[in-house]
Amino acid sequence: MPARPSLPSLDVAGQLARRARWTPLEIVFWLVAFATIYFLPGRHLILTEIVIWALFALSLDLILGFGGILSLGHAAFFGFGAYAAGLLAKHGIITEPVLALFAAGLVTTLLGFITSFLVLRGSDLTRLMVTLGVALVLREIANRYAELTGGADGLQGITMAPVLGMFRFDLFGRTAYVYSLLVLFVLFLLARRIVNSPFGLSLLAVKGNALRASAIGIPVNWRLVAIYTVAAGYAGVAGGLLTQTTAFASLEVFSFDRSADVLLVLIIGGIGYLYGGLIGAIIFRLMQDWLANITPQYWQFWIGLVLVLIVLIGRDRMAAWFQPIIRLFDTLGGRMRRMGAAPGGGER
C-alpha cells in the first residue's frame, strides 16, 4: 500500500504492526492443517509425528531464529519433557494428559532457566559444545538411573488416561493427532504473540547486533535467558507429547541424532519466521517416509543431498521461487480486506 504522507502517525502504527498481521497464506496453512483431521484419517500416525517435530523445531527457532543461539543439544529438553511426562503417567502422579503435559513443560522450563546461564558466554562454538554436553549428560543420567527411567530398555508400562477425561487415545491415532495439533496451534499462537511483542523485537535486535542492543538499554543477557527458558519449555512439551502419544520413552529422546535432526528440520524450513520449523517438519518427515519406501537402506543419502542443495542454493533464492504464490495470496488478502472495509468498493 502506498504511504500516505498526510497521515504519518497512522503509517507508523501500521508499519509497527506489520509483522504481527495475519497473512492469508497463514490462515490457509492452519485451515489445511485442521482439515487433515477429516481428510487424511489413515495418516494420523505420521501426522502426529510431524506435529511433534514441528513443535520441537518451533522451539529451536525461538532460540536460533530469534535469540541467535546455536544449539546442538536441544534434545536435552525434548528428552527431559518426554521422561517427565512418562514418569507422571506411569506413577499416576498426574494422570490427565493436558495437565501432565503442562507439568512436564513447566519442569523443563525450569531446567532451561538453569542451563540458560551456560550459553550466555562465549562464541557459537562454545554454545554448540555446551548444549551438546548438557544433552549427553542428561542422556547418561537417564541411562544410569535405570530403576527410575528403565535405562536402555526405555520407560515402559505407561498407560495414558483419556484427554480431559473424555477422549481416549485410540488405535488409529485420531485423538493423539487432534490433541497434538491443538497443542501445537496454541503454543504457536503464543510464540507468534511473543515474537511480535516489544520483547520479541528486542530479541531480533539482540540477535542482529548485541553491541548496539545493549547501547540502547536492552539487558542482552536477560533477554537471552528468557527466550532460552521459554524455548526449553516448548521442547519439553514436544517431548511430553511424544511420550503421551506413543505411551513410551526411550533414551533416543536425548540422542545427538535428534538434536541434529531438529536443526536439519529448521534449516529445511527456514529460520526466523516461526513457520520454518512447521514446514521443515512436513518436508523432512514426508521425505523420510517416501525415501525409506524407495530405498530403505540409503534414504539418509538423499536427505543429506537435499540439505547440501538447500544450503548451496541459498534460502533467499529459494524464497524468490515462491514469491509469485505469496504475492498472489497477498493480493487476494488485500482485496478481501478492502471489501470488508468498504463493501462494494473492492477496486483499487
Partner 1 sequence: MAYALETIGLEKSFGGIKATNQVSLRIRKGARHALIGPNGAGKTTVINLLSGATRPTAGKILLDGQDITDREPHDRVRLGIARTFQINQLFGDLTAVETLGLAISERGGMGHDWWRVAGRKQTIVDEIGELLGRFGLTDVMGERTATLPYGKQRLLEIALAFACKPRVLLLDEPAAGVPDAERDSILTTVAALPTDVTVLLIEHDMDIVFSFADRISVLVNGELFMEGTPEQVAADPRVKAVYLGEGDNA
| Residue 343 binding partner 1, by CB under 8 A | no
Distance, CA of 299 to CA of 26 (rounded, Å): 31
- CA-closest candidate to residue 160, choices 250, 238, 108, 86: 86
Smallest distance from partner 1 to CB 334, Å? 16
Question: Which residue in the block uniquely carries the three cell numbers 513443535?
Answer: 55
State yes or no: residue 152 binds partner 1 (CB under 8 A): no
Report CA torsion sign: 199, 82, 104, 179.
positive
Q: Is 4 a binder of partner 1 (CB under 8 A)?
A: no
Q: Give the nearest distance from C-beta 230 to partner 1 in angstroms.
A: 8
Q: Is residue 304 a contact point for partner 1 (CB under 8 A)? A: no
Considering CB under 8 A, how many residues would be counted as binding partner 1? 38
- DSSP type of residue 296: T
Q: Which of 171, 215, 312, 342 binds partner 1 (CB under 8 A)?
A: 215
211 is an interface residue for partner 1 by CB under 8 A:
yes
Give the other-Cβ count within 10 Å of 103's Cβ: 19
- Contact map string, positions 158 to 197, toward partner 1, x by CB under 8 A: -----------------------------------xx-xx
**Closer Cβ to partner 1, 176 or 195, answer by number:** 195
Near partner 1 by CB under 8 A: residue from 4, 17, 117, 298:
17
Which CB atom, from 139 or from 223, has the smaller least distance to partner 1? 223
> Do 230 and 109 form a contact (C-beta atoms < 8 A)?
yes
Q: Does 120 bind partner 1 (CB under 8 A)?
A: no
For the CB of residue 108, give the shortest distance to partner 1 in the complex, in Å.
Answer: 19
All 3 cell numbers of residue 242?
A: 511424544
Phi, psi of 6 (to 5 degrees): -75, -20
Return the number of the residue (3 or 35) whose C-beta is nearest partner 1.
Answer: 3
Q: What is the DSSP letter of 341?
A: H
Q: Where are the alpha helices (DSSP H) in 216-298?
A: 220-246, 256-269, 275-294
**Cell numbers given for 21:** 498481521
202 binds partner 1 (CB under 8 A): yes
Query: Is residue 99 a contact point for partner 1 (CB under 8 A)?
Result: no
**Alpha-carbon span 35 to 52, nearest angstrom:** 18
Instruction: Give the integer Cα–Cα distance in Å for 317 and 222.
Output: 35
Site membership for partner 1, residue 19 (CB under 8 A)? yes
Cβ of 186: how many Cβ atoms within 10 Å? 11
- Whichever of 76 and 274 has its CB closer to partner 1, that residue is 274
Residues that bind partner 1 (CB under 8 A): 3, 5, 8-9, 11-13, 15-20, 193-194, 196-202, 204-205, 208-209, 211-212, 214-220, 222-223, 226
